[in-house]
């Protein structure tokens, strides 16, 4: 059962998928249609589940499920991943690659490979106060409060220890 994202309870469970590139406006419309259809029929243990989605920054897909009465089952999560894989295939993008860090910039999200972080910090490209997309938010409340976190408050802070920030 689809619920508008801004009406999802704070405790709702969250999944964040980040695309390897920005979506075109046409792709966003297509993705939104796929997400709405999926969430409208999302079930766990054969019962309808209240769920929602949002697309943000033209490349982030956020799915939420209200697990107050029924937890998302393995099958319902598998169906979600299947949906994401279908979107990847249809649009020739990656949504499941976790080897990237996404930094907020005036022009949008900038993607950096994990293997580049040390040199980006040394060059001054990535700063202690750079805002990192927090794709580990477990709930809607956490997403609302902390979808972006300063690098100094994330696991990336270890790259700043030897450069005297």
pLDDT in tens, 125-155: 999 999 999 999 999 999 999 999 999 999 8
Question: Across the chain, what does the average pLDDT equal?
Answer: 91
Calculate what percentage of the chain has a pLDDT beyond 70.
96
What per-residue confidence (pLDDT) applies to 163?
60
**Does the predicted TM-score (pTM) go above 0.85?**
yes
- Judge whether residue 8 has pLDDT over 70: yes
20, 111 Cβ separation under 8 angstroms:
yes
- Judge whether residue 73 has pLDDT over 60: yes
Average pLDDT, integer, range 84-97? 95
- Give the right CATH number for 5-91 from 3.40.50, 1.10.760, 3.30.70, 2.40.128: 3.30.70
Q: Where in the chain is the domain with CATH 3.30.70?
A: 5-91
Residue 44 — pLDDT band, cuts 50, 70, 90? confident
Long-range interactions of 117-122: CB distance < 8 A, separation 24+: 117/156, 117/159, 118/159, 121/159, 121/160, 121/163, 122/163
């Amino acid at each position: 059962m689809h619920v508008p994202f801004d009406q999802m309870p704070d405790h709702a469970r969250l999944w964040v998928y980040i695309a390897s590139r920005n979506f075109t406006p046409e792709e966003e419309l297509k993705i939104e249609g796929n997400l709405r259809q999926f969430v409208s029929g999302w079930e766990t243990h054969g019962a309808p589940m209240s769920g929602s989605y949002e697309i943000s920054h033209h490349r982030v897909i956020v799915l939420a499920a209200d697990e107050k009465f029924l937890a998302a089952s393995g099958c319902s999560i598998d169906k979600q991943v299947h949906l994401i894989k279908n979107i990847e295939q249809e649009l020739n993008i990656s949504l499941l690659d976790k080897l990237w860090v996404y930094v907020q910039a005036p022009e949008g999200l900038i993607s950096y490979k994990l293997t580049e972080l040390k040199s980006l910090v040394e060059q001054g490209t990535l700063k202690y106060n750079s805002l990192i997309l927090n794709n580990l938010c477990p709930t809607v409340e956490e997403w609302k409060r902390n979808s972006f976190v300063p690098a100094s408050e994330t696991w990336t802070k270890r790259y700043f220890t030897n450069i005297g920030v």
